[in-house]
């Protein structure tokens, strides 16, 4: 699976979370890094952009040699990167499923997608998305709204109108004891996916993790709904297994599926 996204120096989100997730679910992760961020559990304090031409070189090198069963798009940051990613996908990955996670704002509030890039994202990438995975604020931006709408089922269907084959509208930003995501696919009505909200501050990277888990499932041959169900279960268990690191929004326990390696050799 090819992941095209930014790096998180704190290890909880971005490329680092993506690689951990795909590995924990039995996949093989390859990457094209779009930006380097200076961040920890307290927030983002700096962004260093990778030149768009170099992003394209990373993508072409991986696709030409290793190929990809699914592609996950995360932080793209600038319109020039959105454009070059779209160009290379059309050139070298036509027909490969694409999961688009429209990463716009970090957990601490730092902007991760420049405003001019939103139009490029909407125009170039949503029409080729197999699944679009916005949270409620991101959905509002994509729909041109001032804030999240009152009816997420309707908003998920409106997002389908922008071109993706399916939309997973994440409800984590809403209030209440229930976490409600909405899955909308072409040809079928929207479906509410409910779970009890976990009271914790350790939720850094949940969006990246969910999108990568979903993309991994699709790359392994699962249908969209089955991949979503597995991805949601994986993220929930990862939140429950969070190691408790950091003073802010801590990382998830991505390795909860992995059997611990023995720390001492067995007697022979």
Point out the catalytic residue in the list 14, 170, 219, 250: 170
206 in active site = yes
Say which of 203, 209, 216, 219 is annotated catalytic: 203
Between the CA of residue 245 and those of 38, 42, 194, 224, what are the distances in Å? 17, 11, 28, 33
Residue partners of 135: CB distance under 8 A and separation at least 6: 169, 170, 171, 172, 173, 207
Q: Active-site residue 170, yes or no?
A: yes
Single out the catalytic residue among 21, 41, 206, 209. 206
Known active-site residue 203: yes
Judge whether 205 counts as a catalytic residue: yes
Long-range Cβ contact pairs of 232-236 (< 8 A, separation 24 or more): 232/181, 232/193, 232/195, 234/21, 234/24, 234/25, 234/209, 235/206, 235/209, 235/210, 236/195, 236/198
Which of the residues 10, 14, 74, 207 is marked catalytic?
A: 207
Which one is catalytic: 34, 41, 208, 216? 208
Catalytic residue IDs: 170, 203, 205-208
């Amino acid at each position: 699976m090819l992941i095209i996204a930014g790096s998180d120096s704190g290890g909880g989100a971005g490329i680092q979370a993506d690689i951990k997730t795909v590995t924990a679910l039995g996949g093989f992760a390859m990457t094209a890094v779009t930006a380097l961020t200076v961040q920890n559990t307290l927030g983002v304090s700096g962004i260093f952009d990778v030149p768009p031409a170099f992003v394209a070189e990373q993508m072409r090198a991986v696709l030409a040699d290793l190929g990809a069963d699914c592609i996950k798009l995360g932080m793209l940051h600038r319109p020039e990167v959105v454009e070059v990613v779209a160009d290379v996908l059309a050139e070298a990955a036509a027909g490969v499923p694409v999961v688009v996670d429209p990463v716009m704002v970090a957990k601490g509030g730092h902007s991760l997608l420049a405003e001019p890039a939103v139009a490029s994202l909407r125009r170039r990438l949503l029409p080729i998305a197999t699944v679009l995975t916005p949270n409620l604020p991101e959905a509002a931006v994509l729909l041109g709204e001032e804030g999240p709408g009152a009816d997420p089922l309707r908003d998920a269907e409106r997002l389908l109108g922008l071109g993706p084959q399916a939309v997973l509208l994440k409800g984590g930003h809403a209030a209440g004891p229930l976490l409600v995501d909405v899955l909308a696919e072409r040809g079928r009505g929207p479906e509410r996916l409910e779970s009890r909200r976990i009271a914790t501050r350790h939720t850094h990277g949940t969006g990246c993790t969910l999108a990568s888990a979903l993309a991994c499932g699709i790359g392994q041959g699962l249908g969209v709904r089955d991949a979503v169900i597995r991805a949601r279960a994986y993220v929930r268990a990862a939140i429950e297994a969070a190691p408790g690191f950091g003073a802010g929004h801590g990382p998830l326990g991505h390795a909860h599926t992995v059997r611990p390696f023995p720390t001492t050799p067995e007697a022979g």
